[in-house]
Structures are given as C-alpha cells and as structure tokens.
Structure 1
C-alpha cells in the first residue's frame, strides 16, 4: 500500500481542478448494500482517472440516512480507496439536514478521513439567508466546506448573489459546486465569489450536467470596481460523470488543455450539445429529472457494474420511455461510452 498523501497535497490538487464523480449506490436485488459492487464502482472511478469521489450526495441517494447506511457507505468507500493504493484521491462527503444532523455527518466524515464536506442546504427551505449562513459557519468549523447550489427540481432552493458573497467569506470554504442548471444562478455564484475577493481561495466546480463542456471552456469576466476579474470553473463534481467515467476524464483533459492554450476548436464546442443530449436521456430531463438516479443505474447495469436499477425510495424509478432514450444515445454517440474499458477490467474490480 502506498503511503497516504498529505491533506495539503490533496487540497492543492482539488484547487487545480479534477474529475470528481458523484458516487452511485450499489444495491442487491433485496435492496441491501452490495459491498462487492460498491467496491467495484469505487475502483472503476479511480482506474478511470478520477481525482477522487463524492459520497453521500444526491446520486448516492439521500435515503441512505434513513436506512442507516450513511456511515457504512462512507466507510466502505474510504477503505476501498486506501486498499486500491489511491492515497491522492480527494474524498468529499455529502452533508445535509438541519444543523445538528449536518454537524453529526461532518464529524463522521472527518473521522473517516474525508477531505471536505459538500453542504446541501435544502433542509432550510423557507429559512432566511442569515439562518443558512449561520448553519454554514457551524459546519465549516468541523471540516473544509464545499458549497452546493442544487437545482430546484430535486429539492434545491434559490440563493441570492449576496448569499454567495457571504458564503465565500467563510474562512474554511474551499469550493462551490454550481448545479442549479440555470445560467443566471450560475452567474450569481461567480459574481458573489468575486465580490468576496475569494477567487484565489475558493475553487468553482461545475455540477451543471446540462452545460458541462461550456462551463469548463468559457471564462467569466466580472467587474469589481475598476478591475475586470477573470474566473474559470476548474473541475467537475457530477452525477453524470459517475457513468462513462473514462470518457469523462478524457473529455476533461481535452477541455483543460483548451483552457490553457486559449484555443477552442469548433469540434470541442460541438461536444457541449452531445454531452447534454446524453444527459437528457440518462438524467431524465423531460420528467424534471425524476429518473436521473435510476438512469445512471441503468447504464451501470448494462456494463455489469450493477445488478439492478431500483433505489431505496420505491418511488424513484425509470420514467416511461427513458430506456428507449438511453438506447438512442448509445446508438447516436457510441464514442461517449466506456463499455470496452469496463469489460476489460470488471472481473478485477469485482475480485
């Protein structure tokens, strides 16, 4: 086993930008934690070149908490990363609920060696932004914090530009996952970051599964007094990248190379609509994303990484017509999947 990379070196890699799949949950036919396939999923993400994983987030299913699976799942993933000689992997723990619950989850994550908490504030719907900021400060006292602007269709709440300024002023905030699937709200995060003068300390990650390519290509130019501040989204923390992860890593490397050379081809720009079209099917956009997690499960089931598509919540199922749409993107964009990579390595990951 390789020696553990230091927290400082992992944090530096996070700030440079990387691919962070939002880890899915492998369940048996009886809807129990499938430890073998859960380990295989983690190994798949790491071998595909991801810089780490996010666990206990939306795609891991929020219901793991009510099923007593939060700590077992986080523990299993952390153990798998250590055993797979991936000491440099950046581990993000999803943290949610009222302040007492969120602090309890952060304590668990910190004890298991996670590097940061991705804080979901959906439980504060109807609360004032002052209350939400106080909540964020309380959790930030326990471990480094990544903000999470979650789309409203899956429980997120609208947060103002001023909220994001105040959030970025919290000392232990290291990043923000921007995932409102809304360009205006994405701009609010960027402007709040710049107003807080935190662009050198807080790193932006895209979670906008409908706009992945352009988020990672297009710079934001934000006025601040007489200045014009250039900000870029440096990485992706995405449920969409929890499937076809090898292809996602390859795409990310191409996008970062284009960022650094300041030269973007029309072919690369055209990938924005292709990736979004794939996400339309897998994430079930036509049904307000109700089938997004089962859609990801279906891709992994076809590859053999999962045995079935059901979720802990019996209401969370594939939508009518979603299977046909997934079939269609497989036909239309065969270059986007990583089925061959999975076939070559599946037995080793399941061992």
Structure 2
C-alpha cells in the first residue's frame, strides 16, 4: 500500500470525524466472538461514524498476547470493505500500533498490508526514553504508514510528553494527526502549542481523546503566539473510547457542534457536563479508571451488542459501585443513550 495519504483521505481526516475506539468481543474462553465483533463494527457504521480505530487501548492492548491483533484488523478490513462497496463511502481506517520499535514496525506493516489508512502510535512501552529516541522510533513507523500521535493518560499506562516532543513529532512528514488524551488541560495545551510551533501546523489534525472534556475540546479555538504572529488551531474531531457506546447520539452531537453558532455554546457546554458525568461512570474515574474497558462493555451488554463482560486482563473488571453509577446515568440522562436505535437494528447487525 502507498505509505502516504491521498488528498481525498487528507481532506476526510481534516474535515473532522467521529471515530469510535472499538472494543473487542470475546467469549468466556477469551476466544474472539466474531459474530458480535462484526455486529459492533456494523453498529458504528450505521450510526454515522466517519472512521474506526481498531487494535487500540479500548480494544485491549493484550489482544496481541493471545494472537488476536491481526484477526481483528482483518475483520475490520472486511467489514469496512463491504460497507464501502455497498454505500460508496470511505470510512477512515486506523490501526493501533504499540511496543518497542521491532514490534511496532511489524504491526505497522500488518496494518499497511491490510490497507489501513493510518496507525495510532502508542508510546506506553517507553517509560523513560528521551524525546530524541522517541522521535526516531516514530520516524521508522512513519516510513511504513501515515501515523497519528497518541497522548495516552498516565493513569492507564501512558507517559508524560512535553511540548518539545510534540513540536518535533509534528515535523515528521508522515504525521497526519494527534489524538490528545491525557485527561489534563495543561498537557492538552502542550500538544496544541507543540503543533502550533512546528513547521507543519496546518498539516497536522487535532483529535480529542479527552473523554472527560469532549464538548469543550470541540468548541475551543486555541490561539497560540508563535514568533510575531498567532497560530489558530481547533480540535476538529474525536477518537474516543467514550464514543464506543451511544455512538448514534455522539454523531448527532458532533453535527450539532460543527453547525453551532456562539449563541448555542452555553447549551452545548451544559450538555458537555452531562457527557462528562456519564464518562465518569463508564470509565470509573472514581477508582482511577480501573473499570474503563469493563464499563464500556457493560453498556454494550445492556444494549445486546456484547454478550458478556470478558477481558484478557483479569484486573479489568467493574469496580464496586460502578454498575450502580451506570444505572444512575441511564436514569437521569435518558436523552443521551441510543438504545432504541440499537434495538431497531440489532438483529440485522447480528445476521
């Protein structure tokens, strides 16, 4: 596959997209539940998502340990190919890539061979590595496939990355976007400043991964002083684990934000607080995000998209009281869920 994005794909990414970070459907014996995996992907496509991210944190990084990384990417390719052939529409395809350089290069090669458009590069395996070494690692991956930076919050395995890193990262020619997900306003500004100060500030798209601050991220225009001028940047879309559930409503919200005017902002920010409250329950913020993947699974089980809450890591479980918190969210914010949409289409997705 050509290792550069076409103009059409660049434009697609830079127009701003809803990109769910997809979970992995497993049986109780930790085998891939292919039927439900395909149903999940069909749900996201039918909801109006503009892309899919597969093999990422929400997919469980541990899929690599039990040989499921390539199989779920293959299923993703098949479903995306079928959707494109039927609808004449391209969805942006992202594959998660992680590990030290040898593993990451291998995964990038798999993703490229399967015609994924870009790789979301996790640097969680590099705990104390210098910026220079990280940049060299990223350059090697960028030789194979366009790359998207990933600022993963430290509480779930990420590491701190300063503005200097993001400036040099953005200067890599095949960097196409950055997912900003530190769950920290200071760190978020570091990313935006690094991109603004780079030589490619107009070429690198910013996507929120801050599930705790989705609406405000999407509404904010950053104005960064650079030399004698001001560089303006917006976070133009989202690549989010939170959008792995209630996706139809997420697409509607994103469309509302894109077409909002200044008079709409107050009401949108109010809705944003409800979404953050929901995310606190889904991602188990009160317990240091220990139940984040299990919380996403719990909502998908309620909707019938997943059958049971199985994870590879035995510590990935609902925390005490987390299910009650999700019950609370369902009760007080019924307007946020897309249960009816799922119920009307589930049999077709599970065919």
TM score, norm. by length of structure 2? 0.96
Deviation per CA, 1:219-245, whole angstroms, max 9, x where unpaired? 101001221121100000000000000
Shift of 1:269: 1.4
Is 2:280 the counterpart of 1:284? no
Structure 2: how far apart are the matches of 1:229 and 1:54? 29
SS in 2 for 1:106: helix
Q: What's 2:328 paired with?
A: 328
Q: What's 1:229 paired with?
A: 231
Tell me if the contact between 1:290 and 1:319 (Cα under 8 Å) persists in the aligned partners: yes
Q: In terms of mean alpha carbon deviation, does 190-199 or 284-293 score higher? A: 190-199
Equivalences, count: 344
Structure 1: how far apart are the matches of 2:237 and 2:95? 17
Residues 265-280 of structure 1: matches in 2 within 5 Å? 265-280=265-280
Shift of 1:264: 3.2
SS in 1 for 2:178: strand
Q: In terms of mean alpha carbon deviation, does 79-88 or 237-246 score higher? A: 79-88
Tell me if the contact between 2:97 and 2:122 (Cα under 8 Å) persists in the aligned partners: yes
Q: What's 2:35 paired with?
A: 36
Structure 1: how far apart are the matches of 2:95 and 2:239? 12
Shift of 1:204: 0.1
The answer for unaligned runs of 5 or more in structure 1 is 1-5
Shift of 1:346: 0.2
Q: In terms of mean alpha carbon deviation, does 337-346 or 123-132 score higher? A: 123-132
Structure 1: how far apart are the matches of 2:75 and 2:115? 12
SS in 2 for 1:264: helix
TM score, norm. by length of structure 1? 0.96
Q: What's 1:305 paired with?
A: 305
Shift of 1:271: 1.2
Structure 2: how far apart are the matches of 1:230 and 1:129? 25
Is 2:124 the counterpart of 1:102? no
The answer for unaligned runs of 5 or more in structure 2 is none
Structure 2: how far apart are the matches of 1:297 and 1:240? 11
Q: What's 1:205 paired with?
A: 207
Say what the alpha-carbon RMSD is for the aligned residues.
1.1
Shift of 1:262: 4.5
SS in 1 for 2:235: coil
Tell me if the contact between 1:10 and 1:89 (Cα under 8 Å) persists in the aligned partners: no
